[in-house]
Amino acid sequence: MNDITWEEPFCGEGSACFRIGTDESDNAYVAVAGAEDHYLTDTREALRTLIRDIKAGKADHLL
């Protein structure tokens, strides 16, 4: 198993906190804070694309 380096949690008001992590094999991870052993994983490039798309408003319909 890869050694994951987790960032500080991203939290919204009254909602769950999410954490993003990376490893040395160019993988990215997303988990609920406190449940880091149950994560979603993909490449760092996929995470970059997700973040760019969210910043561009492509997920605004979910708000």
pLDDT at 43: 95
List the chain pLDDT tens, one digit each, 63 residues: 579 999 999 998 878 899 999 999 999 999 999 999 999 999 999 999 999 999 999 999 988
pTM: 0.80
pLDDT at 6: 97
Residue 34 near residue 16 (C-beta atoms within 8 A): no
pLDDT at 1: 56
